[in-house]
Structure 1
Amino acid sequence: MENFSVLGFGHVGISVRDIARSRRFYEEMLGFKVVWEYHFPDRELLFMGNGSVVVEFLQTDSALADGPLNHLSILVDDVERAKAELESKGVKFETELLLDADLYPRGEKFAIFRGPDNERLQLEQIL
């Protein structure tokens, strides 16, 4: 594009069944803070952020069986430390810590876990 540059994600929107439950999970487990929230007559919106990561939660009566999106990647400075901290809080990971040496110039380390509405979440450290 000539007229503008993409700098990164502004936010990622996910559908959830219970905004309050998602809010507690992202606050307590991942250190997110409320950026903005609004209650429309027919729906609720909640934006939460941590660093440059912003997630928009949209309350719906039915989220997809495997989560509302493929995955949400959360960039961290030390994936081993982050995984260990979440495990100490009871988060169960679907994968061990994995290395993808071909992604990014020096590779990445990552691990996958699930949020409260079965959304796939990824901790990622770019090496």
Structure 2
Amino acid sequence: MNFKINHLQHTGIPVTDLDTSEIFYKKLGFKNVMVSGFEHNGDKGSMAMMQQHEMIIELYQMPPKELKEIRSRSNGHIDHIAFDVSNIEEAFTELKAAGFKVMEEAPVFLPFWKNGCRYFNITGPDGERLEFNQIL
């Protein structure tokens, strides 16, 4: 691959109550550095990026229709690991051409951070989701 992975960007954790989870992570020393909404299947969800030093955890609450699945788990889980890339188009093109299972048709824009970000996901051998993300 010619594109460069800069560093681990964040770990995404689905939560059932964003406010409660934000309080929990603040007690661990994390600060809320960004809040945003997002659309999923025509409904609105919300997220918060919690940071401590170089670590960033993305807490996100899916729309109400999607919360049932998260609440039914007997334990939590990490949803995805995100890698920071400098050129999302280059990463997308190379990974798709190399035969990786790319989940999106094209990089997706989200209104996160100051100017937004673009991302796409691939799946690993055990179904793990690896996100490639460029903050714009």
Q: TM-score range by the shorter chain?
A: 0.3 to 0.5
TM-score by length of 1: 0.47
Compare the two structures and name the one with the higher strand fraction.
2
